[in-house]
A and B are shown apart, each in its own frame.
Chain A
Amino acid sequence: MYLKREEEKMLDGEYGEVLAKCMRLLVTVGELFEAKKLINVKSCHISGVSYKNIGDFGLKLLKEFTVENVRVKVKTTINPMGMDRSLWFKLNIDKDFAKKQFKILSLFNKIGARCECTCTPYLAGNKPKMGENIAWAETSAAIYANSVLAARTNRESGLSALASALTGKTPYYGYHLSENRKPTIHIKVKFKPLNQSELSILGYFIGKAFPNSVPIFSGLNVNNLDELKILGSGLASSGNIALYHVEEITPEAKIFSKKGLLKNLEKFEVSRFEIKRCLEELNSGEEDFNSIFLGCPHYSLTQLKNLSKSLNNKKIVKKFYVSTSKRVYAKAEKLGIISKILKCGGFVLRDTCMVVAPIEKFKIKGIITDSAKAAYYLKNMGFKVKVKSLEECVKFAVEN
């Protein structure tokens, strides 16, 4: 791999051991994927923030990254952590966990990362432009940046994104190259998804059927960014997918339609039948459900509005959690949406989500959610799950 003089110096430790470590990581990953060089990035998003996930190993490692006072070179945001920083004591989170989580947060703060703790950084001031090279971890955020914003990123790990943030570099391979952004499978959608949960299942199903592909969807009438967000999160969770296109909708889709590339592409038709069967496979039985979890990925303002409308001041009688970012929360608070949801008896969580919080302490049995991604991860953790539409989730929440 070719390195510029400056990059060589970093690698050789002339700027300290932290940058040498970062550079060694980027060069190793680059050589693994046969990258020819490093390129500059415009923004980074780091995962591996929850103490539940990275534990004492991660905490120690982060400490070592902060000893030389190296700071991030580009705009950098971080993923959800293990708790809401102002509500943790109400959520059965023990003091030791909170202490260590706050320590992790302070280390990210020290390197200059924006500590908004969200999986939707693009709704929290980190919104890359078309064609920009970035290094984003968090699979749902990376696929959104690639597909909806047409920025360019690989599916980074927490460590590689951290190394990119501190050096401002990433190896030039994968989705940074135009030739790898072409669709590899044409998905013809033969039904009209009724709601966001169906879109999320559609993504989950296609991801499972065509892992590591670049799907292009046709016949899919997506109306807004929330729908693209949830479709992508499904694709990314089950199939390692980092980029998709939707004809007539996503920015890069027309390049490929125009060039006539779709004609020779393998085709696959998907109907509601497949989606229903996939849903049955994902759902686990009927008994023991006592919780509802919404906000995977973090809810937008519109989604919070719809939730509050749907709740319509009814009393929630189950455990009810919805996650969003600090920034969206603040906007919703001004509009009176948060107080409405709280009055019904739900938790609105910032900074965190059910997937990265220590929810084994939340006295939860089965969880109903509107997101296939959440269901997939929670099921892997041993919880019973069911994916339902927002309306059905709300209905379950208020019924005795």
Chain B
Amino acid sequence: MRILRVKGRSLVKGESEGFALVTSQPISFFGGVNPKTGLIIEKGHELENAKITGKILVFPYGKGSSVGAYVIYSMAKLGTAPKAIINRETEVIIASGCALANIPLIDKLKKDPIKVIRTGDYVKILKNGLIEIRKKR
């Protein structure tokens, strides 16, 4: 099995592992995700109807209302949140939500995460922003 290690900036610290769900499109947690089901509900989104619960969610950055931060926090409380988030370059909505919910958050990887990680890869978040990608066969 091919294993890749990439370093990034660890914004919300913590270790985690799980299967990756990757999109090249930004995500709006407020209105774009159903916090009760963990499904992406934004019409026409690449990940429409995909479940983000328990995944290592990889996307470029957050968009939409700042209430998105409250939604991320609620999802953690409901048990529907992703295990960790990897952004190309994050912004305040995702950062605030992950910080409150204590969901590990990494951005600014040495390689573009949207290119090196594919949906279904197994991703481990190690300490200090180091991630390990086990490529799906």
Contacts and interface: CB of A to CB of B under 8 A. Distances in A.
B58 interface: no
Contact of B92 (A29, A57, A60): A29
A58 B67 contact: yes
Contacts of A157: 66, 69, 92-93, 96
Interface residues of B, number: 23
Contacts of A55: 67, 70
A323 B79 CA distance: 41
A60 B11 CA distance: 25
A29 B90 CA distance: 10
Contacts of A31: 9, 11
B21 interface: no
A389 interface: no
Given A48-B67, A159-B100, A24 B12 contact: yes
A62 to B, nearest CB: 9
Contact of A57 (B9, B67, B95, B96): B67
Interface in A300-340: none
A25 interface: yes
What's the interface size class on A, roughly?
A: 20 to 34
Residue from the set B67, B71, B93 with the largest chain A CB neighbour count within 10 Å? B67
B74 A60 contact: yes
Interface in B49-89: 66-67, 69-71, 73-74, 77
A53 interface: yes
Given A24-B99, A24-B102, A28-B105, A53 B67 contact: yes
A1 to B, nearest CB: 11
Given A57-B74, A58-B67, A60-B77, A160 B11 contact: no
A158 B63 CA distance: 16
A194 interface: no
Interface in A46-70: 48, 53-55, 57-58, 60-61
B98 interface: yes
Contacts of B99: 21, 24-25, 27-29
B95 A32 contact: yes
Contact of A160 (B35, B71, B91, B92): B92
A32 B66 contact: no
SS class of chain A's interface: helix, strand, loop or mixed?
helix
A29 B73 contact: no
A28 B95 contact: yes
Contacts of B12: 24, 28
Contact of B96 (A25, A53, A54, A60): A25
Given A24-B12, A29-B95, A32-B90, A158 B66 contact: yes
Interface in B96-118: 96, 98-100, 102, 105
B34 to A, nearest CB: 12
A159 B74 contact: no
A57 B71 contact: yes
Contact of B100 (A24, A32, A48, A54): A24
Contacts of A32: 11, 90-92, 95
B73 A61 contact: yes
A28 B73 contact: no
B100 A57 contact: no
A54 B71 CA distance: 9
Nearest to B71: A57
Nearest to B93: A157
Contacts of A27: 99
B35 A25 contact: no
Interface in B1-32: 9, 11-12
B35 to A, nearest CB: 7
A160 B95 CA distance: 11
Residue from the set A24, A32, A48, A157 with the largest chain B CB neighbour count within 10 Å? A32
6 contacts: A25-B99, A29-B92, A55-B67, A57-B35, A61-B100, A160-B96
Q: 10 smallest A-B Cβ distances: which pairs? A: A28-B99, A57-B70, A25-B99, A24-B99, A57-B74, A157-B66, A159-B96, A28-B95, A32-B95, A58-B70
Interface of A: 21, 24-25, 27-29, 31-32, 48, 53-55, 57-58, 60-61, 157-160
Given A28-B105, A157-B69, 6 more contacts: A29-B92, A29-B96, A48-B70, A61-B73, A157-B66, A159-B69
